[in-house]
Amino acid sequence: MTQLKEDHKQYKTSRNFQKHPGTSFGNKQHKHIIPMCLFRALFNCTMNNCESEEIVEAANIAISNLLPTKSRSLYDIAYNRFKKWCAEKNVQVYSKNVLLAYFSENAKNYKSSTLWAQYSMVKSCLIIYDNIDISKFPKLIAFLKRTGDGYQAKKSKILTKSEIDRFLSSADDK
């Protein structure tokens, strides 16, 4: 249970209050009495304003390393393509309908495996940069699954042992 819920429960049972100095008006100092749960909620350091610069810098470094280093450029390309599409469509908020429309439009030009790769890259970037988790959009996932119906991936041709031996024996040694 979170601290806020515990404080609220304690407030309801014991009526625990915290005195908090208010502002002074003229010569009088007004004191406000507020419930402890509200006091903690109001003055809890959940905002960045109470975090040290060192903490913020360490968090930013950790965030910058969340994307894979080798394929970071691919992630950025997929994310920027999505952002560009949103700008063209005058989209302000990334909702499930926006993402469904984006992937529906891309489904006309790309195969299912490419859509899933794009989904994964856009999902990672939206979580990191915009704090939006699109894995919670079940209609989008259902759409992506439906695009894969009947899809047969191309299999690479594999050389047999005799073909490899023939190549090695007949190939030039230069």
- Per-residue pLDDT of 87-105, as tens digits, reads 999 999 999 999 999 999 9
Whether residue 125 is contained in a domain is answered as: yes
Task: Check residues 69 and 38 and name the one with the higher pLDDT.
Answer: 69
Dihedral (CA of 128, 132, 137, 143) sign:
negative
List pLDDT tens digits, range 90-148: 999 999 999 999 999 999 999 888 999 999 999 999 998 888 999 999 999 999 999 87
User: 9-36: per-residue pLDDT in tens?
Assistant: 554 444 444 444 444 444 444 444 444 4
C-alpha–C-alpha distance, residues 151 and 163, integer Å: 30
Q: Answer whether residue 98 is part of any domain.
A: yes
Domains: count for the chain: 2
Asked if residue 138 belongs to a domain, the reply is yes
Residue range of the domain that includes 37: 3-44
CA distance 7 to 39: 10
